[in-house]
Structure 1
């Protein structure tokens, strides 16, 4: 087994190769296959190379999770804006559920508290969700604070994937994630304008329209040109209190 040189381009290429090999082993054989010896052997390098480049196996797993999830987040961020923020929010949910079910072992790594809290890719994914929620808020369809909507969608999406992954594949109910999404959106969205469909539940409380207006106005406060920074901060605080009261 030949050791690849560890300087400049050689070091970078060796690291990238190790991450790719570990990602493949994780995807095809699960976490048990991602051992220092197994990855080094499959990549054609000596085991000490992994320690020099990643510190230990956990460091390698962090790099694998970051690599795969970063590619997913980049694709999600570049997804076309359909012009319908609510439809785009649903599309993002469907992509998230599909990614989790297709990458079971990796998803478990990504949502582990220790890794999720320090992952730039996870933070970037949340920023994509926040941007989509903000677009919904700007249309006047959001009846809770933006941060609350993000937290609910993120928690529900993670929970739905983990619940489905805990089931044998043949017993998974594809409608579970749909039902979870419907429950969340009923708690965070106002009704669209227009006649009420006969099958829909009773209209939301009238206070929702006032809250939705406050949430929508909150999205434009940072761009109001004639206010000082202090005035913008004060106005934002008032609107936040109105939403959460």
Structure 2
């Protein structure tokens, strides 16, 4: 193991066992068996070390998501993704809090990849005509809600003692972003779902029937239709 990896591993272990969710650079260096100047040369400062450590811890979680086989039903994958996100937060509370904390000046790269993997599932749902709104907007809603409930469970366990809360919030959010063919039968519902489906397929058309400018304009129109209204007709 190289020196950089040894420092990250030491920081991850100390972070996981820290009652207050903080670690000192001195403790990290002692655990890794290196001098502090080496840490600053490799990471710049403590913020750089913690950012790299959060990415390392999160990469273990994201690796399982990358390796997971897609099921025939993207909704099943969406539900599983939410549940694994919450389970990761509960298993690694200190790293999770750092990931979404303003304490770090630089955003860990894992945050962007987590959002990208979520969008991929939502794009599959959109392609099937099952999404009420554009995948990017749906992804922001899902990630915000999943993050919020996970942070509530790990930072305020006395106030939110029931982990079943995560499932309740999950189902409520999914009802809001997904089209239910049993009940969502109005022209408005169908029009928005159709626009979202077309929007998801726009970049995959081969050969492209539109110029770049035409595709951009059509995308704007479809976004307007898909995102219009939430009930304003």
TM-score (norm 1): 0.85
Match of 1:199 in 2: none
Q: TM-score, normalised by structure 2?
A: 0.89
CA contact (8 A) 1:101 1:161 kept: yes
Matches within 5 A, 1:147-186: 147-168=136-157, 172-186=161-175
Matched, 1:17 2:6: yes
Partner of 1:210: 191
Note if contact 2:126-2:135 (Cα within 8 Å) is conserved in structure 1. Answer: yes
1:187-230 Cα distance to aligned partner (Å, 9 max, x none) = 111114xxx5xxxxxx3461212211110111111122222222
2:202 equivalent to 1:221: yes
Q: CA deviation at 1:163?
A: 0.7
Q: Among residues 73, 86, 103, which one is paired with 2:75 in the alignment?
A: 86
Whole-angstrom distance in 2 between the partners of 1:208 and 1:116: 42
**Aligned counterpart in structure 2 of residue 233 of structure 1, from 194, 200, 216:** 216
Q: How far apart are 1:134 and its partner, in Å?
A: 0.6
Q: Deviations over 1:36-61 (max 9, x none)?
A: 11111111112222122112222211
Note the C-alpha offset of 1:115. Answer: 4.0
> 2:213 & 2:150 partners in 1: Cα distance?
42
Shift in Å at residue 69 of structure 1? 1.2
| Structure 1 residue runs without a partner (length 5+) | 1-11, 197-202
**Equivalent position of 2:231 in the other structure:** none
Select the residue among 15, 32, 39 that pairs with 1:26.
15
Match of 1:124 among 109, 113, 132: 113
Query: What CA distance in whole angstroms lies between the structure 1 residues aligned with 2:141 and 2:21?
Result: 32
Aligned equivalent of 1:111, options 91, 95, 100: 100
Moved more, 17-26 or 232-241: 232-241
Deviation for aligned residue 1:119: 2.1
Mapped to 1, the partners of 2:39 and 2:25 lie a distance apart of 7
Counterpart of 2:226 in structure 1 is 243
Query: Matched residue of 2:94: which SS?
Result: helix
Aligned-residue Cα RMSD (Å) equals 2.0
SS at match of 1:29: coil
Consecutive unaligned residues of structure 2, counting only runs of 5 or more, are 229-233
2:91 is aligned to 102
Measured against aligned partners, the alpha-carbon deviations of 1:116-153 in whole angstroms (never above 9, x if no partner) come to: 86322211111001111111111111011222211110
Question: What is residue 7 of structure 1 aligned with on the other side?
Answer: none
Q: Which is higher, the Rg of structure 1 or of structure 2? A: 1
Moved more, 40-49 or 172-181: 40-49
Contact kept? 1:65, 1:106, Cα under 8 Å = yes
CA shift, 1:75, in A, is 2.1
